[in-house]
Amino acid sequence: MSDEAAREGTEGHGGQQVTRVAAAHGVDTVFTLSGAHVFPVYDAAVKFEPALRLVDVRHEQSAVFAAEATAKLTRRPGFAVATAGPGVTNTVSAMTTAHFNGSPVVLLGGRAPAWRWGTGSLQEMDHVPLLAPVTKHAATIGAVDAITAGVHEAFTAATSPHRGPAFVDVPMDVLFSRCDLPAVPEVARAAAPEPDDDQVAAAVRALREAHHPVLVLGSDVWTGGAEDAARRCAEQLGCAVVTNGMGRGVVPGGHPQLVTRARGRAFGEADVVVVVGTPLDFRLGYGQFGGKDGATPAAVVHVVDGADQLATHATLAAGVVGDLTTVLDRLCAEVAPHQSHRDETDRWVADLAGHARAAVAADADQLASTSDPVHPARIYGELNKRLDPDAVVIGDGGDFVSFAGRFVEPRRPGRWLDPGPFGCLGTGLGYAVGARLAHPDAQVVLLFGDGAAGFSLTDVDTLVRHDLPVVIVMGNNGVWGLEKGPMNMLYGYDVVADLTPQTRYDQVVTALGGGGEMVTSPDEVGPAIDRAFASGVPYLVNVVTDPAAAYPRSTTGI
Ligand SMILES: Cc1ncc(C[n+]2csc(CCOP(=O)(O)OP(=O)(O)O)c2C)c(N)n1
Ligand SMILES: [Mg+2]
C-alpha cells in the first residue's frame, strides 16, 4: 500500500476508500465499463500508488468473467466495477457463474443518488434483491464514512471459505462525497472450520476397509490451496483419481493413478468414493456410485470447505467440513498405515490405469483424423502437440468444448478454465482477458464454439486495446451442436439450432485489430495454430468443422 493510502485521517472521496481496501485485499486490476455513477473509483484507481490497472471491456458480463478468471487463476480476489442499473443487471449471469464456482469476486455497482431516491432518477433501481440470491453478501453502503468497512466486508465474505462472489453498491452522492478516510482494516484470511473428529473417523474407517477407493478432486482443492496435500494423499493411499473443474491437473495427465478416462468403470466398481471440493452434482452422477446389478453402492465421503456445501441429497458415509489441506493430511496419516486391502487396491488401480491408457491410445486415430470437413478431434490432436505444460486453456462452447474435456488433459493445476456447473455460454473473452493478465508469459488458448462466440466476441476489442494476445481456436460447425443433436434425437427434427455456415469470425477479429484465418482442410489446422501463436496479437483460427461430428454424450445434466 502507498504511503498516502496508509495514512489515516487523510481527507478524500468515496472512490479512494474503495481502491485502498481493494488493494489491501490484493487487487491490482479493476475490470469495468464506464458509467458516471462510478467515476470516483476510476479517479482513485489512476491516482493510487501504484495505480490500479483499469481494464475497460465492451459488456459488463465480460468484466465479471475477467474478474472471475483472475480469482480462479491467481487465487486472489477478482474485482469488477459496473455502473448503476443496466451495468449491474448485465453482470447477473457472470455473478451467478462465480456463485456456482465458489470464486472470490467482488462487484461494486454504482447506484442512483440516495437524496433523489424514489423520484425516478436515471437507472434508479435497487440491485441488492437481484444479487442477493447469487452472492455471499449483497448490501448498499449508505454513508461515505462507511465505505471502507462496507467494501472490506464484501472482500472478506468473498475470500472466506466457502468462497464466492459479493456485491456492494454505493449511491452516487455517497461515492462522490468526501470525508476523513477511515483506516483500512487489517486483512486476515478466514480459515475453514476445524473438521469434526467423528466425521473424520467415519471417513478413515471407510477408507481403511476400502478395496476400490476413488478420490475425486474438484475446484476447491485448487482454490483452497490443497493441491499438494491432495496429490500426496492420493499417492500415499494409492487410490484411483478423477479430477474435475479447477481440480484438473492436480494429479496431472499421464499420472498412473489418474483414471478420468476410465471413470465410468472406476465409479461402477468403486466401494468407497471420496469427493473433495466439488458438489455431488450431475457431473458426478448426483453422488451415486456403483450399485449396478444388485451390488452394494459405494460408500460416499464428501469433503467440503463450508457447511452449506455438504450434499443433502445423497447418503453419506461421512461428511467432513474443514480446511481441505487439514482434512486430506489427516486422512492420509490415519489411513495409509492401516489399509486392509492395499494389494487389491493396487491391482485394481493398475487395471483401471490400463483401461485409461487404452482409451487414450484409442483416440489416436481420431486425433489424426484426415476427414474433410475437419473432425473436431483433429484440432485437439494438433493443439496438444503445441501446448506448453503451463498453458492456460479456456473452453466456451458446447460439443467442441466437450471434446476438449476429453482430449486435453492439463499437466498443471490451476490452468484449465471451464464455465463450471452453471454452464453459462459467454465466458470466453472475459476469461481470456483475465487469463492473459494473470499469466502474461504463458500460452493462453480459448477454445470457442461458433455459437458461444456470439456472446462475447466483441471483447476481442478489449484484448486489442490492452495489448493482450490470445490464441482463439474456433470449432465452427455452423450449428448450436450440443442442442441440435439432442433435439433431433427427441423430436426427429430440430429448430433454432442452425447458424450461418462458415461465418468469417476470423474477419471480425481482424476488423477489431487482431488477426485470423479460416481453415477448411485438416492439414492446415496445425500450421494455422502455429501462425496464431507466432502472431503476438489476438488471433482467431476459424476451423470449419463437421456439423455431423457430435460429441458422444453419456450424461445430459438433467
Ligand atoms: C447463456 C447460455 N445460453 C444457452 C445455453 C444452452 N447451450 C448449451 S451448449 C449450446 C450450444 C453451443 O454451441 P456452440 O458454441 O456452437 O458449440 P457446439 O456445440 O456447436 O460445438 C447451447 C445453446 C447455455 N448453456 N448458456
Ligand atoms: Mg457450433
- What would the pLDDT profile of 30-72 be if each residue is shown by its tens digit? 999 999 999 999 999 999 999 999 999 999 999 999 999 999 9
Report the C-alpha gap between 17 and 311 in whole angstroms. 39
Pocket test for ligand 1, best of 374, 448, 483 (most atoms within 8 A of CB): 483
Does position 558 have pLDDT exceeding 90, yes or no?
A: no
Confidence of residue 518 (pLDDT cuts 50, 70, 90): very high
For the chain, give the mean pLDDT.
96
Confidence of residue 294 (pLDDT cuts 50, 70, 90): confident
518 touches ligand 1 (CB under 6 Å): no
Sign of CA dihedral 95, 98, 102, 108: negative
Sequence-distant (6+) residues with CB within 8 A of 526 are 382, 385, 386
**Fold observed for domain 363-544:** Rossmann fold (3.40.50)
Would you state the pLDDT for residue 6?
47
Does position 526 have pLDDT exceeding 90, yes or no?
A: yes
Residue 483 has, within 13 A of its CA and on its CB side, a CA count of 14
pLDDT tens digits, one per residue of 195-242:
999 999 999 999 999 999 999 999 999 999 999 999 999 999 999 999
Fold match flag (197-360 vs 363-544):
yes
Does position 176 have pLDDT exceeding 70, yes or no?
A: yes
Report the C-alpha gap between 243 and 218 in whole angstroms. 6
Nearest atom, ligand 1, residue 450 CA: 16
479 touches ligand 1 (CB under 6 Å): yes
Domain boundaries along the sequence of the chain: 4-180, 197-360, 363-544
Would you state the pLDDT for residue 9?
62
Superfamily of chain region 4-180: Thiamin diphosphate (ThDP)-binding fold, Pyr/PP domains (3.40.50.970)
Does position 8 have pLDDT exceeding 60, yes or no?
A: no
Report the C-alpha gap between 549 and 477 in whole angstroms. 9
> Which residues are near ligand 2, the ion (C-beta closer than 5 Å)?
449-451, 477, 481
197-360 is classed CATH 3.30.365.10: no
Would you state the pLDDT for residue 192?
87
Cβ neighbours of 460 (radius 10 Å): 31
Does position 3 have pLDDT exceeding 50, yes or no?
A: no
452 touches ligand 1 (CB under 6 Å): yes
DSSP assignment letter at 114: G
Gyration radius from the chain CA atoms: 24
Would you state the pLDDT for residue 1?
45
Angle at 104 between CA 152 and CA 10, to 5 degrees: 25
